[in-house]
């Protein structure tokens, strides 16, 4: 859910802060595996805290998150690989749909508690994001190509190279240097780095 808080806030602030916001699809499980990280909900006390924190953040940011204790199992049991490959294929062909697609995938999984792992789920998300049936089908057919798979691997490796160990990871290129920020609670620090 933290990804959505970050997405929403950066989208709200992009014109106020005058930033060039670019979405870079990366595979979270790949990042976790490469860095030896573990999902925070696997630690009972942290999971308990996260549930409370999500409710506070949802209210503060006015983002429709609905989360309960059994959602941690749902998260662990749902593969996002097909969805991330679909978003990657869209990034390569029609990047203007990245933002609405990201929002709709998030809404479907976190707010509506529906699956995002099957082709029919992905087509439903694409329809909600305003894609034509023809474009959605064409993009879905691309996800098994080595070009799309390699692009997602490259973007994931790039995130790790910048220091990412989970999501949300934001890299601010400012003053000739990349600055990594992890978590939706670091947006004020991001603002201060870029002089906002």
pLDDT in tens, 29-74: 999 999 999 887 778 898 888 888 888 988 998 888 877 767 777 7
- Asked if residue 181 lies in contact with residue 170, where contact means CB atoms within 8 angstroms, the answer is yes
pLDDT at 163: 96
List pLDDT tens digits, range 164-184.
999 999 999 999 999 999 988
Spans of all domains in the chain: 1-194
Nearest CA-CA partner of 30 in 78, 86, 80: 80
Cis amide leading into 162 (omega within 30): no
Q: What is the largest CA-CA distance in the chain?
A: 47
Mean pLDDT score, 131-147: 97
pLDDT score for 8: 86
pLDDT for 111 = 83
CA gap 119, 158 in Å, rounded = 27
Q: Pick the residue with more confidence: 49 or 147?
A: 147
Q: How many residues does the chain have?
A: 196
pTM, entire model: 0.87
- Assigned superfamily of 1-194: Glutaredoxin (3.40.30.10)
Residue 1 has pLDDT above 70, yes or no: no
124: confidence class by pLDDT, cuts 50, 70, 90: very high
Which residues, in sequence order, are bridge partners of residue 169? 182
At 149 the pLDDT is 98
Distance CA 140, CA 134 (A): 10
Spatial contact of 182 and 165, defined as CB atoms under 8 Å apart? yes
pLDDT of 2 higher than 70 = no
Q: What's the pLDDT score for residue 36?
A: 94
Q: How far apart are CA 151 and CA 93, in angstroms?
A: 12
- The DSSP secondary-structure symbol of 145 reads S
Ordered DSSP codes for 76-94: HH---HHHHHHHHHHHHH-
Task: Give 72-121 pLDDT, tens digit per residue.
Answer: 777 777 889 999 999 999 999 999 999 999 999 988 988 888 999 999 99
Q: Where does the pLDDT of residue 154 fall: very low under 50, low under 70, confident under 90, or very high at 90 and above?
A: very high
The mean pLDDT value for 6-34 works out to: 92
Pairs from 55-59 (Cβ < 8 Å, separation ≥ 24): 57/1, 57/2, 57/5, 57/184, 58/1
pLDDT recorded at residue 101: 94
Residues in Cβ contact with 87 at an 8 Å cutoff, skipping those fewer than 6 apart:
25, 98, 101, 102, 105
Which residue in the block uniquely carries the two structure tokens 């995002």? Answer: 116
């Amino acid at each position: 859910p933290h990804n959505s808080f970050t997405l929403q806030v950066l989208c709200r602030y992009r014109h106020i802060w005058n930033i060039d916001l670019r979405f870079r699809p990366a595979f979270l499980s790949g990042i976790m595996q490469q860095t030896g990280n573990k999902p925070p909900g696997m630690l009972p006390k942290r999971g308990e805290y996260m549930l409370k924190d999500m409710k506070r953040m949802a209210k503060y940011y006015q983002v429709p998150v609905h989360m309960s204790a059994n959602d941690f199992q749902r998260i662990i049991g749902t593969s996002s690989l097909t969805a991330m490959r679909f978003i990657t294929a869209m990034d390569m062909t029609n990047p203007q749909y990245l933002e609405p697609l990201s929002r709709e995938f998030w809404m479907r999984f976190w707010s509506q508690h529906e699956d995002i792992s099957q082709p029919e789920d992905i087509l439903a998300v694409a329809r909600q994001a305003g894609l034509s049936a023809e474009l959605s089908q064409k993009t879905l057919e691309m996800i098994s190509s080595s070009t799309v798979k390699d692009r997602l691997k490259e973007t994931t490796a790039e995130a790790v190279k910048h220091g990412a160990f989970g999501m949300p990871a934001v890299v601010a290129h400012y003053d000739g240097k990349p600055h990594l920020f992890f978590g939706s609670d670091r947006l004020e620090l991001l603002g201060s780095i870029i002089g906002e």
